[in-house]
Amino acid sequence: MMNASLQGWGLWFALAGACLGTYVCRAIGVLLSGRINQDSEIFRWLAAITYAMVATLTVRLILFPVGLMESVPPWIRILICVLSIGVMVSKPTKRLVPALLTGTLLLVGYGIIR
Amino acid sequence: MSSADQPYIDPSEIALEGLAAERFKNRSDAFWSGMRDAAGAPAMVLFAGMVGFGAMGRTNGIDGWFITLSSILMFALPGQVVLMEMAVTGSSVLAIALAVTLTSTRFVTMTVTLFPQLHEKDRNRNLYASVHLLAMTAWAVSMKEFSSIEVKHRLSYFVGLGLLCWLISVPGTILGYFLAGLVSASVTLGLVFINPLFFLLTFTEVKPWINRIAICLGCFLAPIFTILDRDTSLLTTGVIAGTIAYYIDRKWLRKRAGFIG
What are the tens digits of pLDDT across the range B150-172? 888 999 999 999 999 999 999 99
Quick one: pLDDT band at residue B15, thresholds 50, 70, 90?
very low
Quick one: pLDDT band at residue B9, thresholds 50, 70, 90?
very low
Cα separations in angstroms, A94 against B28, B38, B199: 32, 18, 15
- Evaluate whether residue A47 is within a structural domain: yes
For chain B, percent of residues with pLDDT exceeding 70: 89
Neighbours of A95 (CB within 10 A): 17
* Whole-number pLDDT of residue A76: 96
* Whole-number pLDDT of residue A4: 65
Of A12, A81, A105, the CB nearest to B190: A105
Contact A81 B1 (CB under 8 A): no
Helix, strand, or coil here: A65? Answer: coil
Q: What is the 3-state secondary structure (H, E, C) of B110-145?
A: HHHHHHHHCCHHHCCCCHHHHHHHCCHHHHHHHHHH
| Average pLDDT rounded to a whole number, residues B91-101 | 92
- When the pLDDT of each residue in chain B is averaged and rounded to a whole number, the result is 85
A78-85, long-range: CB within 8 Å, 24+ apart, which pairs? A80/A106, A80/A107, A80/A110, A80/B193, A80/B197, A81/B197, A81/B200, A84/B197, A84/B200, A84/B201, A85/B200, A85/B201, A85/B204
Domain regions of chain B by residue span: 25-194, 206-261
- Evaluate whether residue A84 is within a structural domain: yes
Tens of pLDDT, residues B32-69: 888 887 777 778 888 999 999 999 999 998 999 999 99
Q: What is the 3-state secondary structure (H, E, C) of A35-56?
A: CCCCCCHHHHHHHHHHHHHHHH
| Average pLDDT rounded to a whole number, residues B125-149 | 87
- Evaluate whether residue A44 is within a structural domain: yes
- Evaluate whether residue A112 is within a structural domain: yes
- When the pLDDT of each residue in chain A is averaged and rounded to a whole number, the result is 88
CB B257 within 8 A of CB A44: no
- Evaluate whether residue A18 is within a structural domain: yes
Identify all chain A residues contacting B90, using CB atoms and an 8 Å cutoff. 4-6
Identify all chain B residues contacting A34, using CB atoms and an 8 Å cutoff. 1, 112, 115-116, 123
- As for how many domains chain A has, the answer is 3
* Residue in chain A nearest B233 by alpha carbon: A56
- Evaluate whether residue A114 is within a structural domain: yes
Contact B226 A64 (CB under 8 A): yes
- Evaluate whether residue A104 is within a structural domain: yes
* Residue in chain A nearest B108 by alpha carbon: A29
Query: What residue numbers bound the domain in which A16 lies?
Result: 8-36
The ipTM (two decimal places) reads 0.90
CB-count burial class (<10 Å; 0-12, 13-18, 19+) for B17 = exposed
Identify all chain B residues contacting A40, using CB atoms and an 8 Å cutoff. 258-261
CA-to-CA distance for B141 and B146, rounded, in angstroms? 8
Neighbours of B44 (CB within 10 A): 13
Helical segments of B146-184, H only: 154-182
CA-to-CA distance for B56 and B69, rounded, in angstroms? 15
Look at B10-19, B173-182, B238-247 and tell me which has the smallest mean pLDDT. B10-19
Q: Is B18 left (phi over 0), alpha (psi -120 to 50) or beta?
A: left
Identify all chain A residues contacting B64, using CB atoms and an 8 Å cutoff. none
Does A87 share its domain with A107? yes
Residue type, B68: T
- Evaluate whether residue A3 is within a structural domain: no
Residue type, B56: M
